[in-house]
């Protein structure tokens, strides 16, 4: 199985690109979905988060208050690092487990794993190829404001809290520019898909 790590910046359109690959036949795993599962009440990451951040960041039903925690980590790099150190190892372990299961069932497949902090947490070497979804900064800010209901200041802060997208582009094997229309993005996805299929065939030989 050819494993591709998909990453990018906040509101760059990773999910759109992942869905584009899924339509073409790729297996897709979403690290954000896995992250929501590993912090469910009673899981090891949930226990560690309660110890580090305290009960104020949890709902009455004991689930994690993700919005409150997100606002904190946008403005506090130390807390952001603590969160990543707790959650991401659990996420990557679960992704490894699921990818091994998929490889056993469909060894010829191309697996695309959407990991927002792939490069930040040093997980790129777990994948055969790294793909970055790019969007220019003004597009990211506009999407953030519309998607999450943020003010211009809040959207700018959220962007500043992440690795500069240009740095990620420099570390990518493939770059999908998602600054334009969906049709333009999908055309790029289809070109890259053909290359990934060729790589998967060569890997099998």
How confident is the model over 66-99, as pLDDT tens digits? Answer: 989 988 988 899 999 999 999 999 999 999 999 9
Percent of the residues in the chain that have a pLDDT greater than 90, as a whole number:
83
SS3 letters across the chain: CEEEEEEECCCCCHHHHHHHHHHHCCEEEEHHHHHHHHCCCCCHHHHHHHHHHCHHHECCCCCECHHHHHHHHHHCHHHHHHHHHHHHHHHHHHHHHHHHHHHHHCCCCEEEEECCCCCCCCCHHHCCEEEEEECCHHHHHHHHHHHHCCCHHHHHHHHHCCCCHHHHHCCCCEEEECCCCHHHHHHHHHHHHHHHHHHHHHHHC
Q: Which homologous superfamily does the CATH classification assign to the domain defined by 2-204?
A: P-loop containing nucleotide triphosphate hydrolases (3.40.50.300)
Name the band, by pLDDT with cuts 50, 70 and 90, for residue 205. low
**pLDDT value of residue 188:** 98
Question: Would the pLDDT of 51 be above 90?
Answer: yes
Question: Would the pLDDT of 203 be above 80?
Answer: no
CA distances to 4, 43, 45, 168 from 95, rounded to whole Å, are: 12, 16, 15, 21
Name the band, by pLDDT with cuts 50, 70 and 90, for residue 204. low
Question: Would the pLDDT of 175 be above 80?
Answer: yes
Q: What mean pLDDT is predicted for residues 25-29?
A: 97
CA distances to 43, 150, 199 from 155, rounded to whole Å, are: 31, 6, 38
| CA atoms of 201 and 129, how far apart (whole Å) | 15
Averaged pLDDT of the chain: 93
pLDDT digits (tens, 9 = 90+) for 133-163: 999 999 999 999 999 888 999 889 888 888 8
Each domain of the chain, given as residue ranges in start order, spans 2-204
Question: Would the pLDDT of 17 be above 90?
Answer: yes
**pLDDT value of residue 164:** 86
| CA atoms of 122 and 80, how far apart (whole Å) | 15
């Amino acid at each position: 199985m050819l494993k591709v790590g998909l990453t990018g910046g906040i509101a760059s359109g990773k999910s759109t690109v992942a869905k584009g690959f899924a339509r073409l036949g790729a297996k897709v795993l979403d690290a954000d979905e896995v992250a929501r599962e590993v912090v469910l009440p009673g899981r090891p990451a949930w226990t560690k988060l309660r110890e580090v951040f305290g009960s104020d960041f949890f709902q009455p039903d004991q689930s994690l208050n993700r919005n409150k925690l997100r606002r904190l980590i946008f403005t506090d790099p130390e807390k952001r690092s603590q969160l990543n150190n707790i959650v991401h190892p659990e996420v990557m372990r679960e992704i490894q487990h699921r990818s091994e299961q998929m490889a056993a069932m469909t060894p010829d497949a191309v697996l695309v794993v959407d990991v927002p902090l792939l490069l930040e947490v040093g997980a790129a070497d777990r994948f055969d190829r790294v793909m970055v979804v790019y969007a220019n900064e003004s597009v990211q800010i506009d999407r953030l404001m519309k998607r999450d209901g943020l003010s211009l200041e809040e959207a700018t802060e959220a962007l500043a809290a992440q690795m500069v997208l240009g740095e990620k582009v420099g570390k990518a094997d493939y770059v999908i520019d998602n600054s334009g229309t969906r049709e333009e993005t999908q055309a790029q996805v289809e070109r890259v898909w053909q290359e990934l299929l060729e790589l998967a065939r060569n890997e099998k030989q």
